[in-house]
Amino acid sequence: MWQQFLYHPILNLLVFFYQILFQNLGLAILAMTVVLRSALIPLTLPTLKAAKKQKDLAPELKKLQEKYKGNKEKLAKAQMELYRRHGINPAAGCLPQILQLIILIALYQAFIQVLSNDGQAVLKLNEILYFDFLKLDPARTINTSFGPWNLSKPDQFFVLPILAGVCQFLLSKTMRPAVAKASKEAKKTHDKSDDLMYTMQEQMLYMMPLMTVFIGWRLPAGLVLYWLATTVFSLVQQYFIAGLGGLEPWLRKIK
């Protein structure tokens, strides 16, 4: 069922774009990224809007934390009531995230199948393809060249992993409120619990991009290209839905 309903369709879609885009695997990966991410918009859009509402409710949540300090049960009920009044379901974002993870796993398998790039792999690939016009010539290897990169091997120039890490950092920044404001609020607390939470958030802000670079350093460049493209797509989507978030103070300083 996994192969029939997810892995095989994604693999056929990738080969379809490869065939119509001049047998250029890099262009195929970019085109498929746009199509898949666009198809997921109906699922991700409510999640992004809910996240924006939660950010807007931060002052009211802060008041509830001060009012019910020491009583977690009442605080939880008050928070859920606040979310209910504003039409927010905190658990609504779970399903889209799970679906995106499942698709990412299928994409990884599809890329590995295509990027293995030998005659035997092409024969196996042709058995999976739905239509004759998609079938590849077993006598020819798949064209994995994209600009200066060989997409079947790690990026020897380290450009794609670094770009993916930078974009991941920018995305994480836009998904957060202004750091300066959060820092000031944390310093006002007496028990310093917010300071700990703020510190952890700051660490994750830098940890995720570093992990992206570290992992991308060793993966085939084709996979890193997909990760970069999907992060850029998410960054643009986040900007139009919720604005620049934590990037706004930086841009004001530059101006």
* Each residue's pLDDT tens digit, 188-205: 554 545 554 456 667 778
Q: Which of 157, 173, 177, 163 is CA-nearest to residue 228? A: 163
Do 201 and 100 share a structural domain? no
In total, how many domains does the chain have? 2
Q: What H or E segment, with its residue span, contains residue 245? A: none
Per the structure block, which two tokens stand in for 114?
């295509």
Q: Which of 123, 143, 163 is the last residue of a domain?
A: 143
Q: Which of 108, 143, 178 is the last residue of a domain?
A: 143
- Mean pLDDT highest for which of 86-90, 141-145, 228-232? 228-232
When the pLDDT of each residue in the chain is averaged and rounded to a whole number, the result is 84
Cβ–Cβ < 8 Å for 227, 164: yes
DSSP 4: I
DSSP string for 177-238: --HHHHHHHHHH-SS-HHHHHHHHHHHHHHHHHHHHHHHHTTS-HHHHHHHHHHHHHHHHHH
The pLDDT, as a whole number, for residue 181 is 46
Do 159 and 224 share a structural domain? yes
Do 156 and 120 share a structural domain? no
Tokens 């065939």 -> residue: 19
Cβ–Cβ < 8 Å for 28, 11: no
The SS3 assignment for 60 reads helix
- pLDDT over threshold 60, residue 121: yes
Domain that holds residue 17: 1-143
Do 175 and 159 share a structural domain? yes
Q: Which of 143, 165, 184 is the last residue of a domain?
A: 143
The pLDDT, as a whole number, for residue 165 is 96
